[in-house]
Structure 1
Amino acid sequence: MKSKLRLVVAVATFFMCPFVVKAQVDLGIKAGLSIPNLTSGNSSNPINSGYSSRLGLDAGVHAEFHLTKRFSIQPELRYSSQGGKKDKGQAFPPTPELAAGFQAQGIPVPQYVYADYKSVAKFNYLMIPVLAKYHFGFSPKWDLYVAAGPFVSFLLNGKQEMSGTSPIFLDPAHTQPVTPPQDFNRTQDIKNDLKKANWGIDGHIGLAYHLNSRSAIFVEGGGNYGFVKIQKDKTNGENNTGAGVVVLGYSFRICDKKK
């Protein structure tokens, strides 16, 4: 862990150095609530649909380079919770055992089967946004601002937590059971089923209160959306990540603009 922290500090210092001599620089830390969900776009894959939002953590650090009185550039390093949940109506490809049972009975193996159980998809990413930030600055103490820009993110882990019991059905209306009730209480590691990287757009609106000339506390609300379909295999779905985010933070000026 210490070696990883040193690497992060070294990389941040490398990128900061060209700006430090030319701009005011603030360092900030923030943490709060991520409210992610998985969207399916126009896909007809039944695995994609039915997700609702779950709750998770969003936390990170940033460096803000003030290029003018109003405009700044803010790279960030964030832990971002993504995913979603389903309360019922799950669709999934038949297991090899189910497929063999269908074949033994002379029934064509369906592309999907269905069951009623709860599942929560939890994906956590290391997100690196680079935001353009505009300050309205309507008083010496208060600062209203907006920020937006692209991000890249890298998958840290991925799992699916399932709970409940249900027969497995042949149809989405759950009128044709093909098994007795099954136990779905388990957690699956699905990291290897997901693409390792994502990219998209991130943004927020914020309000800061300046405690003095060098430090401030702030609250931000915004969100992010990933443009990459996260599953490697379309059989497992074709979803995009996205989340609403609300955070509290603290910033401190480490460098004033050189004269």
Structure 2
Amino acid sequence: MLITLCVKVSFAQKKADIGFKAGLSIPNLTTGSSNNSISSGYNSRLDVHAAVHIEYRMGDRFSIQPQLEYSSQGGKKDGIQTFSTPDNLSQQFPPGQAPTYLYADYKSEARLNYLMLPVLAKYHFMSSKKWDAYLAAGPFVSYLLSAKNITKGSSLIYLDEGKTQPLGPEAQSFDNTENITSDLHRFNAGINGHAGIGYKLSNGSIFLEAGGNYGLIDIQKSAADGKNKAGAAVIDLGYQFRL
């Protein structure tokens, strides 16, 4: 209790700014060494990013900045893809001989939305009457709000990735939106950071930041779905003012 009270009093005595920012998230899903073809081959996608922060000034150069972020993550694929053999296609094979995976040529996009809480150490390496330049970095924890896998297109289904063994003569539709939230871990943790430059106004400042975040925990619950780590590059424009 005494330690908590001292910390609160200490922060209360420091100069504090509150800021709001929004911009562009450029996420992707990276793969590790232990992986399967279902979770490989992702490219970056584009979505929104937004955050609110409080910056506690510890001096002219250093500050602590906790922030609450809405972070859209995920990735996309376009082309030949691997998918687990569904039950309706397994019935076309003799008992026990259905392949684990099948292949088709279509588009897919994984959209993962997180609520993220980073705590950043911030260093102002240039500060004048009008300009401020800084670096910030620190750990984060996050909670998965929702996750969807959206597929589009039509294709023959193949037994091999080289598309030499079609399963049937007719193309199948892959237009579908699947809720995959229950297949992923709800919590993640990782590192977050950015570089920024601000222009000071009479009652605050406007700023531009570029940085990113990277989760250190594989997002899938089951190894059969592969292993991916989520992360994103971020570009934000914002405004902050003294409390």
TM-score, normalization by structure 2:
0.93
| Residue 116 of structure 2 corresponds to residue 116 of structure 1 | no
**In structure 2, what is the Cα distance between the partners aligned to 1:137 and 1:45?**
46
Give the superposed CA RMSD.
1.5
Asked if the contact 2:137–2:193 (Cα under 8 Å) also holds between the matched residues in 1, the reply is yes
- Matching residue of 2:197: 207
Aligned counterpart for 1:241 among listed residues 208, 214, 230: 230
Asked if the contact 1:93–1:235 (Cα under 8 Å) also holds between the matched residues in 2, the reply is no
Matches within 5 A, 1:118-157: 118-157=107-146
- Matching residue of 2:206: 217
- Matching residue of 1:185: 175
- Matching residue of 1:11: none
- Matching residue of 1:171: 160
- Matching residue of 1:197: 187
Asked if the contact 1:160–1:190 (Cα under 8 Å) also holds between the matched residues in 2, the reply is yes
User: 1:171 and 1:19, CA in 2 relative to 1: closer, same or farther beyond 3 A?
Assistant: farther
Shift of 1:18: 3.9
TM-score, normalization by structure 1:
0.88
Q: Deviations over 1:52-106 (max 9, x none)?
A: 11011110100000011100000000000000000112111101122221225x7
Gap runs ≥5 in structure 1: 1-13, 255-259
**In structure 1, what is the Cα distance between the partners aligned to 2:43 and 2:9?**
44
- Matching residue of 2:39: 48
**In structure 2, what is the Cα distance between the partners aligned to 1:103 and 1:131?**
57
Gap runs ≥5 in structure 2: none
Shift of 1:136: 1.2
User: 1:182 and 1:136, CA in 2 relative to 1: closer, same or farther beyond 3 A?
Assistant: same
**In structure 1, what is the Cα distance between the partners aligned to 2:8 and 2:103?**
56
Shift of 1:17: 4.3
**In structure 2, what is the Cα distance between the partners aligned to 1:48 and 1:167?**
21
**In structure 2, what is the Cα distance between the partners aligned to 1:145 and 1:110?**
54
Shift of 1:252: 0.5
**In structure 2, what is the Cα distance between the partners aligned to 1:229 and 1:103?**
35
Aligned counterpart for 1:78 among listed residues 69, 75, 91: 69
Asked if the contact 1:19–1:65 (Cα under 8 Å) also holds between the matched residues in 2, the reply is no
- Matching residue of 2:18: 27
- Matching residue of 2:216: 227
User: Which of the two has greater helix per residue?
Assistant: 1
Q: Percent identity?
A: 53
2:162 aligns to what SS in structure 1? coil
User: Which of the two has greater strand per residue?
Assistant: 2
Q: Deviations over 1:160-192 (max 9, x none)?
A: 111000111111111111133111011111111
Paired residues, number = 237
Shift of 1:19: 4.5
